[in-house]
Amino acid sequence: MKYLLLGVIVAICGYIGYGLSKYYVSRVKLFNELINFAEKLDTDINFGKSKLLSIINNFKCNSKDLKKILEMYKACLVENKAFTEDIFKDVKILKDEEKHIMLNFFTELGKLDVFNQTKQIENSKIKFKEVLEFCSDEKKKYGTLYLKLGIILGLLIALILF
């Protein structure tokens, strides 16, 4: 029974560490997918002149957070609120500066002719790549660190209790 309890404590601490590291993983995923989305926009606008909503609907998104943002963005477009921070309502992993960059991107979407829209997407992609680089560094630094710290903390508590 005692061993089982200690095991549970280690698992809980490990899980907390995993939760903290997931934050960094999710951020990397979000910006990775955002770049993929921008690339899809670029292609679909240039070659198909596809409508914005159809591009979003056809985008297979692997980031839960970006999916939420895109869903909110679609809803806000219809309600004429797409240019407010409402689109980030359900996403908690973004910093203010990152929200600002994304909002600039979404605000201009669909409002320009093909040439200028493509340029705007290209410029945004450069910014997203910078943020992704920063997020990747963060993930390298803290992502695995929190997981390890969680497990170590769990083991430490287990050791003390033992």
Q: Closer CB to another protein, residue 5 or residue 53?
A: 53
Q: Name the residue among 160, 145, 127 with its Cα closest to residue 25.
A: 145
Q: Which residue in the set 20, 22, 25, 50 belongs to the binding site for another protein (CB under 8 A)?
A: 50
DSSP 74-116: HHHHHHT-TTSGGGGTT--S--HHHHHHHHHHHHHTTSS-HHH
Q: Which residue in the set 49, 60, 97, 162 belongs to the binding site for another protein (CB under 8 A)?
A: 49
Gap between the Cα atoms of 152 and 118, Å rounded: 49
Q: Which residue in the set 23, 25, 110, 157 belongs to the binding site for another protein (CB under 8 A)?
A: 110
Q: Closer CB to another protein, residue 82 or residue 132?
A: 82
- 80-109 mask for another protein (x: CB under 8 A)? x----------------------------x
